[in-house]
Every structure is written in C-alpha cells, then in structure tokens.
Amino acid sequence: MSEQSLFRRYAAPRYWSAWFGVASGRLIAQFPFSWQLAIGGFLGRLFGFINRYRRHVVDVNLSLCFPELTEAQRHDLTKRHFAALGTAFFELATAWWGSDKKVRPLGRIEGLEHLQAAVARGKGVILLTGHFTTLEMGARFITFHQDFHAMYRPHKNPLYESFMRRERERRSGLAPLPRQDIRGMIRALRRGRVVWYAPDQGHGKKDSLFVPFFNVPALTLGATARLAKITGAAVVPYFPERLPGAAGYKVTILPALDDFPSEDIEADTLRINRLLESWIRQVPEQYLWVHRRFKKRPKNYPKVYRVKGRWFGFAD
C-alpha cells in the first residue's frame, strides 16, 4: 500500500502520534551512524532511569540468569542494556529506511555458506535466532544475500502494523507471517523457502513447555522441533552482534543443527535454549532483558516481577 493511501486511511487524530513516529524514523535513518549510537545510547539510559518498572524487570532477569554477578556488576550491565535498547530504536529506523549504500558497509556476515548449503537442499530453512536488540539490523544484512519470510507479532496500531509489514516485505523480499500463522509457515517451508524464527519468548501455554533458560524454568515455544519434523526443514541458527565503538555489526551463521529434531521435544527445546545462552553470554547487554521472560512460571513457583507494596501500573 502506498504512503498516500495509508495517509488517507489513517488520517484521524488518533493516528497522529504514529505518523510522528514514522516521520521521526525516516529522519533518524539519515543520521550518521556515530550519531545514532551516541543519541540512541543516551536516550536508552534516560529511559532506564525514568521507567522504574522496566528497570525492575531487567534487574530481576539479570539476578535470575547471572546469580554469579555482584550487585555492582548487575547495575553496570543494566545501564549498558538500556543503552543498547535505545540504540535499537535508531537501528530499526536504519534497517527499514536506510539506503543499501549506507547500511551494507556497516556489517559483515560470517558463515553465509551454511545458509546457502541449507537452502540448496530444497526442503526449507528455519533461520533461528533470539530476541536481541540488534534483531532488525541483523536481519537487514541477511536480506542482501537471501530472501525470507519473517515471523512477527502483529501490532495493535493498524498504521504501525501496515508500515511494519510493508517495510519488512520490501527488505526481505517475501511477505512476513503473523506468529499465529503456523499453516503459512509450513507451506513456506515445504516450498523450500527460508523462514526467520525466534522461539525464545513464550506466547501462552499452547505449543510451549517449561524448560531451563539460564537454569531457570521458562515457558518456551516447542514449535521449532515440531516444524522441522513436519517439513524436513533445516534449522540454521544465526546471531547478530553490535561491535564495540562504531565498528558496525557482525552476523554469525552457524551450520544447520545435526540430528535435529530428535524424538524428545523437551531435549530439542533445551538444546536451542542452551545455544541461545552461549551467545547471550558473549554480549549480554544486547539481549532483550526488558521482556518478562519468566512471567509465566510452573505451578507453585512464586511470581518474580511483583514489586512489594506497588505494581508500578503493571500486572504480573
């Protein structure tokens, strides 16, 4: 849908804030890369200072996942995470609206031959990763070499939803698929296509199971193994990383998982979690710790995000 058509459809005042966000994103995409890092990092730290509840969520997650860290170390990691989170907003703008001429020199891919070999099998590829703050930029670098469908969570704001679908399809070459559209994902894989997939956020108990994540029971989607079994698709993990300073980005693509899936879906899901953990430990500040990863817990486990005496406007 053209921008003019979108404006006619979503011209009501209730969409003005979303239009402001789109206009801001287009402007941000033109900033020099060093500016994006500096301004994004500053705004992210400011957000972390102001938003007490999200800071609390990050602190809880880090306490559970990195019990070996001292309080001072966790505090430092929290600040670095919010800086990475602020930078991610600027990265999203660049990933959607930055020109190829600007974006391509910022990143490099290692292991592209693993993805190409999996695609050559002709049985489809599940391009597996986690919810890192570098998610959008990492995907953009892959689009220079391979078209793919992106699984995504539909947005409640229809204007933002329209832009998200349009820009991701424009960059990735194939239409994004709502996360509920499992049939669409199966069809795409059986046609030999590549589907981007991140299973590290539980979306309700259906198709999910509790498996350890940093040795803490976490509701995790078990669909990766099921989809691979149904379609015969290869599962190819990849991980994006923001390099220190203004050095840009690195995307590491690993070989397709061997002996996957097995007959034990819990073991397969744990295997994926362990793989994610190994990469999160390399750049822990770049993982999405503001997400309430442990919101749903096994029976008789206490809630962990509740704040004594206050709920900070959120319900667990």
Q: What is the CATH number of the domain that holds 244?
A: 3.40.1130
Is residue 11 classed as helix, strand or coil in its secondary structure?
coil
Distance CA 256, CA 241 (A): 19
Q: Following CA atoms 288, 290, 295, 301 in sequence, which dihedral angle do they give, to the nearest 10 degrees? A: 90
Instruction: Give the tokens for residue 223.
Output: 């669909």
Among 109-113, 191-195, 295-299, 311-315, the minimum mean pLDDT is found in 311-315
Structure-token match 């070459």, residue found? 173
Backbone angles phi, psi at 100, to 5 degrees: -55, -40
Residue 297 lies in a domain: no
Backbone angles phi, psi at 312, to 5 degrees: 55, 25
Taking alpha carbons only, the member of 123, 121, 84 closest to residue 240 is 84
Among 37-41, 103-107, 205-209, 230-234, the minimum mean pLDDT is found in 205-209
Instruction: Assess whether pLDDT exceeds 70 at residue 289.
Output: yes
How many other CB atoms are found less than 10 A from the CB of residue 80?
Answer: 18
Domain count for the chain: 1
Banded pLDDT at 315 (limits 50, 70, 90): very low
Domain around 237: 13-286
Residue 211 lies in a domain: yes
126 Cβ contact partners less than 8 Å away, ≥ 6 residues apart: 189, 195, 197, 224, 227, 228, 233, 234, 235, 236
Q: pLDDT digit string (tens) for 33-80?
A: 999 999 999 999 999 999 999 999 999 999 999 999 999 999 999 999
Residue 296 lies in a domain: no
Q: pLDDT digit string (tens) for 100-113?
A: 999 999 999 999 99
Distance CA 202, CA 209 (A): 9
Instruction: Give the tokens for residue 315.
Output: 């319900």
Banded pLDDT at 159 (limits 50, 70, 90): confident
Residue 48 lies in a domain: yes
pTM attached to this predicted model: 0.89
CB 264 within 8 A of CB 255: no
122 Cβ contact partners less than 8 Å away, ≥ 6 residues apart: 192
Banded pLDDT at 204 (limits 50, 70, 90): low
Banded pLDDT at 202 (limits 50, 70, 90): low
Instruction: Give the tokens for residue 146.
Output: 């391979």
Q: Following CA atoms 265, 269, 272, 274 in sequence, which dihedral angle do they give, to the nearest 10 degrees? A: -120
Residue 108 lies in a domain: yes
Distance CA 134, CA 55 (A): 20
- Predicted local distance difference test score (pLDDT) of residue 162: 81
